[in-house]
Every structure is written in C-alpha cells, then in structure tokens.
Amino acid sequence: MADEKQFKPALIIVDFQEDFCPPGTEGAELVPELDVSRVHAVIEKGQDERVEMYSAFYDPFRLSDSGLAGMLKEQEVTDVYVVGLAGDYCVQATAEHAVEEGYQTWIVEEGTRPVMQDTWEECKREMEKKGIKFTCMDSEAVDRVKTFT
C-alpha cells in the first residue's frame, strides 16, 4: 500500500475481554516491553451487548463500529500489525477487516495464540489467501516498526 517514505504503522492488540484476560490479572496488563508512551488510543470493541464483535473494527454486520477505521485513516496509517487472543477468532477478524480497509496487514506470531491449535495452520493459510502476512519479532517487517519515529 505504501512506499518506504510513507510508512506509518499501527499496532492493534486484541483481545482484553474478560473471558481471556480477567481485569486485575497479569494477563490483562500490557507487557512491560511495550513502550506505552507511544500508545495513541485504546479502542474498546464489543460495547453493544446485542451483537458479538470479534473484530477491533466492527461487527460482522457492521452495525457496531469501534471508530478504529476512521482513526487509522485520520492518522494516515499504512500498515497494521495485529497481536493477541484469539488468533483464530478476534485476531483473524481484525486482520481481515484491516485488509478490507486497504492496509498492509501483519500478524506477529509471538504475540498471537489461537483457541484451536490443531487447525491454526489451515486458518493461517486461509488468511494468507486474503492478503494477511505473518511475521515474527526478529523480522524486517517488525524492525520497521521498532525504528519508526
């Protein structure tokens, strides 16, 4: 989507829902290695109890919108990096919507875990067919984010 001069990344962390990360537990905290001084916004998804919202962007019917798409466009983001739980649900839905919104989209392996480990490889192949890329912490793709100012 963007050339080197225009690169502007966004990291999206999903999912801090109570099922996976009860408030007040270690799992609900951001890791100390994350430079929170560079966090511009926290988007809460699933605020409409009438509809399940796996994606950080919007629900499957696009009735409930978190505002993330508009915020990323306003900030002129080019690349979206997704990590979190669960790889085969919330991370997948978020990554698919990021691609639909036109972003170069990456899932960082070390920061993502699926619910169904036995079907994860097939799930990843399906996401790759949709344009989602998988990367790791020691990759050039992640190094670009680490050095972005």
Mean pLDDT confidence for 54-77: 91
> Higher pLDDT residue, 67 or 14?
67
Instruction: Give the alpha-carbon dihedral of 30, 32, 38, 41, to 10 degrees.
Output: 10
Q: Within a 10 A sphere around the Cβ of 94, how many other Cβ atoms? A: 28
Hunting for tokens 């890329």 — which residue is that? 133
Please tell me the pTM assigned to this model. Answer: 0.85
Mean pLDDT confidence for 84-112: 94
pLDDT score of 18 more than 50: yes
Q: Which sequence spans correspond to the domains of the chain?
A: 4-146
> Higher pLDDT residue, 103 or 49?
103
pLDDT at res. 2 = 47
**Spatial separation of the C-alpha atoms in residues 47 and 31, rounded to whole Å:** 24
CATH code at 4-146: 3.40.50.850
